Amino acid sequence: MASLGFSPLPGTLVTQAVNGTAGGSGIGSGNIPSGARYAEGYVRTASIVETRDGTAPTSTKGTEWDEGDIILLRSRYEIVNFLAIEKAGGSSETIDWQFYNRAPN
């Protein structure tokens, strides 16, 4: 059961483009609502590799997610420091993010 007061922030569905650029790409500070404390991301198109502490991911360093996976970011720190690159190279990949006011219990 979700905790009392857990709800998505209105109008905060964001699509993050992910490519193979060294250093990775973040969600973008302009896309992160000030009240966001939790986020769910849907890996839309292909495999990515991510880090959550601000260090640059590589194809062999970070957590790999495949198309259709759901990524959970459980704090403001993880949201702000999330970086991702595409695993295989080639076309740009995407992650669809929904932000929430707090993490569920």
| Per-residue pLDDT tens over the stretch 20-55 | 887 889 998 889 999 999 999 999 988 999 999 999
How does residue 1 score in pLDDT terms, banded at 50, 70 and 90?
Answer: very low
Residue pair 16/32 in contact by the 8 Å Cβ criterion: no
Q: Is residue 1 part of a domain?
A: no
Domain count, the chain: 1
d(CA 68, CA 42): 6
* pLDDT at residue 79 tops 70: yes
| Predicted local confidence at residue 82, as pLDDT | 96
Rg (CA), the chain: 13
- Distance (Å, whole) CA 87 – CA 99: 24
Q: What is the pTM of this model?
A: 0.89
Strand-pairing partners, residue 38, are: 100
How far is 100 from 59, CA to CA, in rounded Å? 29
Q: What is the pLDDT of residue 76?
A: 95
- Print the domain residue range for 30: 10-75+99-105
* 61-70 mean pLDDT: 95
User: What confidence score (pLDDT) does residue 4 get?
Assistant: 64
Kindly state whether residue 3 falls inside one of the protein's structural domains: no
Q: Which amino acid, residue 99? A: F
Query: Does 87 reside within a domain?
Result: no
The Cα–Cα gap between 1 and 54 comes to 32
Is residue 86 in a domain?
Answer: no
Encoded tokens for 97? 């993010």
State the pLDDT at residue 99. 96
Please report whether residue 26 resides in a domain: yes
C-alpha distance across the termini of the chain, in Å: 8
